[in-house]
Amino acid sequence: MDGGEDRLFLGLDFSTQQIKAEAINDSLQIVNETAVKFDSDLPEFKTHGGVHIHNDNVTVTAPTIMWVKAFDLLLEKMKKDGFPFHKVACISGAGQQHGSVYWKTGTNKILRSLDEKKQLHKQLQNCFSIPDSPVWMDASTTVNCRELEEKVGGPLKLAEITGSRSFERYTGTQIMKISRTRPSEYKDTERISLVSSFAASLFIGDYAPIDLSDGSGMNLLDIRTKKWSPECLQACGSDLSQKLGDPVPSKQVIGNVSQYLISRYNFSPNCKVVAFTGDNPASLAGMAPKLGDVVISLGSSDTVFSWSPSHTAELEGHIFVNPIDSNTYMSLVCFKNGSLTRERIKDESADGSWDKFSEYLKKTPIGNNGNIGIYFDVMEIQPLVQGIFRFNKSDEKVTSFPPEVEVRAVIEGQMIARKMYMEMEMRGMHTGLDTRILATGGASLNKAILQVISDVFGAPVFVSDIPNSAGLGSCYRAKHGLEGCDFSEVVKNHPQPECVAVPTEGAHEVYKEMSLRYRKLEREIANQQ
């Protein structure tokens, strides 16, 4: 190995429902894609959508060891398929954001002296002080959120420091909850990782640092100084700065691949690892956006994000340190009811067929004859509400819609909310005919859905033929970190996305009025809960 056209860059994506590896060569061509799906490939963990939703309906966790076992399976699959591990020059990766991993005291020694003959999950099975990791879908920490905000001087003050007011899924309050409810397990925790830095730890055989971009999703990092905020740490748990380690810029090389991986899979001893980051920051890198582009990512969660040169504190949405350039920022809004809700409605109203779903979207009018649906199958983030709500054109509640109306209602309702919260979070951001909306994620393959997005946002929608932008972004980040050049240099051969939908005439007026109604109805629902 070493240099030359032959070298590869490996990108990992530890997402909610699966882990995936993607490899590119120096010309940015994808040469390998391998995935392990938690529900179907690891049925012994009995997850649904990669998680366990507890009986209280707000606690959501995933077994940490399942992720380790998935890592074993993934690399074994690649080995079996003859993947040339020795050609990998650098690795980076992404993880579902906010989720946390609790390593038991003494584990670092084990990580540093792994036995190449044994699978990793067998060696790490007793190494997690909290065996079930809280994930981004968890909404069980409302009391902790209020406490954190109060301790630092209110929600806006917290947003000024950390880029976000307190949100239930954010890691700081998840840690606070664990330190209060499970004090002995907390004490027996040597290190706390995010899913991203946990995954990186499996590659370097040591505790990997948290990167600044994913670290911004914890309500613990001061995004102005790029250091942990002492007051936030103090509010969330004792000895927290030791348990977290120092954060590093997202493009930092954090070490070489472990001896375990060299011996077991034939990685090169020179193979470097660049800090892993969150899935949304990695997606930003994978879309290679221009300033002013808006990315809409349609996955387990739906997110809308963009690259911002500066930041202002807002009560809705989030600001993260930018994964590509830690002197700039990225703004993001996140919605919990994304693809699983769309899939449920496809199953219930379109006989489980995406073709039929698309047909219904095409045959129903823009604005759905005034019908509006709000589908929060699980507790939404903004607003913090769960339930299904349907309204007719006079804003009266109705209990059901005909199937084709239901299909349009879910997509219109979701996209109106995506635009509305994007405008609240990214003050001054308005989409128009000169904005490029870059769509990614599973639903970006569905042209009928993309047409609704274009109509609601009043902007053309572009897609590239790579739906997994987090994995690709991780490959780009690996190359960027290794070469230390400008990111624009790394992505100069990135395939140009193609315009697949432009706004329909007249749609703008319909959605302008409908958005006002949506906002009023959503507020009423939130006030009633």
Binding site for ligand 5FX (CB under 6 A): 15-16, 96-98, 136, 169, 217, 278-280, 300-301, 303, 334
363, exposed or middle or buried, with CB in 10 Å at 0-12, 13-18, 19+? exposed
| Residue nearer to ligand 5FX on the CB measure, 258 or 301 | 301
Instruction: Specify the amino acid at residue 51.
Output: V
- Chain centroid, CA 254 distance in Å: 22
| Residue nearer to ligand 5FX on the CB measure, 237 or 299 | 299
CB of 316 to ligand 5FX, least distance (A): 12
| Residue nearer to ligand 5FX on the CB measure, 283 or 358 | 283
| Residue nearer to ligand 5FX on the CB measure, 135 or 409 | 135
What are the angstrom distances between the C-alpha of 511 and each of 63, 359, 453? 42, 21, 11
| Strands of 132-134's sheet in order across | 52-53, 60-63, 132-134
CB of 162 to ligand 5FX, least distance (A): 13
Closest by alpha carbon to 311, among 420, 421, 163, 418?
Answer: 163
Provide the greatest CA pair distance for the chain.
68
Helix (H), strand (E) at residue 15? none
131, exposed or middle or buried, with CB in 10 Å at 0-12, 13-18, 19+? middle
DSSP structural state of residue 444: G
CB of 177 to ligand 5FX, least distance (A): 17
Closest by alpha carbon to 454, among 515, 505, 516?
Answer: 505
CA dihedral 232, 234, 240, 246 (to 10 degrees): 50
CB of 351 to ligand 5FX, least distance (A): 29
Cis peptide preceding 323, ω within 30 of 0: no
| Residue nearer to ligand 5FX on the CB measure, 8 or 200 | 200
Phi-psi group of 310: left, alpha or beta (phi > 0 → left; psi -120 to 50 → alpha; rest → beta): beta
CB of 444 to ligand 5FX, least distance (A): 15
| Residue nearer to ligand 5FX on the CB measure, 64 or 96 | 96
| Residue nearer to ligand 5FX on the CB measure, 214 or 404 | 214
What does the radius of gyration of the chain's CA atoms come to, in whole angstroms? Answer: 22
3 state DSSP class of 107: helix
CB of 386 to ligand 5FX, least distance (A): 17
| Residue nearer to ligand 5FX on the CB measure, 36 or 507 | 36
CB of 283 to ligand 5FX, least distance (A): 9
Task: List alpha helices for 205-270, DSSP H.
Answer: 212-215, 230-236, 240-244, 259-265
Closest by alpha carbon to 417, among 388, 445, 375?
Answer: 375
| Residue nearer to ligand 5FX on the CB measure, 97 or 440 | 97
CB of 219 to ligand 5FX, least distance (A): 12
Sort strands 302-308 and 128-130 into parallel, antiparallel or unpaired. unpaired
| Residue nearer to ligand 5FX on the CB measure, 214 or 455 | 214
Task: List alpha helices for 182-299, DSSP H.
Answer: 183-187, 195-204, 212-215, 230-236, 240-244, 259-265, 279-287
CB of 216 to ligand 5FX, least distance (A): 10
CB of 321 to ligand 5FX, least distance (A): 14
